[in-house]
Amino acid sequence: MKAARLATLKFFALLFLWPGLAGLVVSAMISTHYLDTMPRWPVPEEYRTVPRGIHGTTVYQTPAENREFNLVENSSVGVFLFGLALGVVYLEMWGSLQARDEGEESELAPHAG
């Protein structure tokens, strides 16, 4: 594989890894915020009837909040895993390229004898 393709693969792996990781951090921050601010019992007047377990504590949120949080959480995990997969492919290709280059160097080196 050419070095340019390898560099492109590395670029795209990082392009997905960093936003995915940032999304996971944001998701953890939202989760902590929910734990601090949301009621621990249903409040039907405010439509807070959807339970969410956070660190062993149940808080109640609205269906809209539940959808938004699930979207952030699931998309962050998906983007991060895609970037991780690209990173593994990059490392595998980089390693095979290094091994091939090392093999070519040992064939070209003069043998003592």
Q: Could you tell me which of 96, 102, 93 has the C-alpha nearest to residue 10?
A: 93
Mean pLDDT of all residues belonging to the chain: 91
Give the containing element (helix H, strand E) for 50: strand 50-54
Instruction: Give the CA distances from residue 73 to residues 25, 99, 104, in Å, rounded to whole numbers and listed in that order.
Output: 10, 39, 46
Q: Return the domain boundaries, the chain.
A: 1-101
Give per-residue pLDDT as tens, 48-91.
999 999 999 999 999 999 999 999 999 999 999 999 999 999 99
Q: Which residue has the tokens 């660190």?
A: 55
pLDDT value of position 99? 83
Is 58 strand, coil or helix?
strand
pTM of the model: 0.79
Query: What is the share, in percent, of the chain residues with pLDDT greater than 90?
Result: 78
> Can you say whether the dihedral through the CA atoms of 93, 94, 95, 100 is positive or negative?
positive
Measured CA to CA, the distance from residue 107 to residue 101 in angstroms comes to 10
pLDDT value of position 111? 59
12 pLDDT more than 70? yes
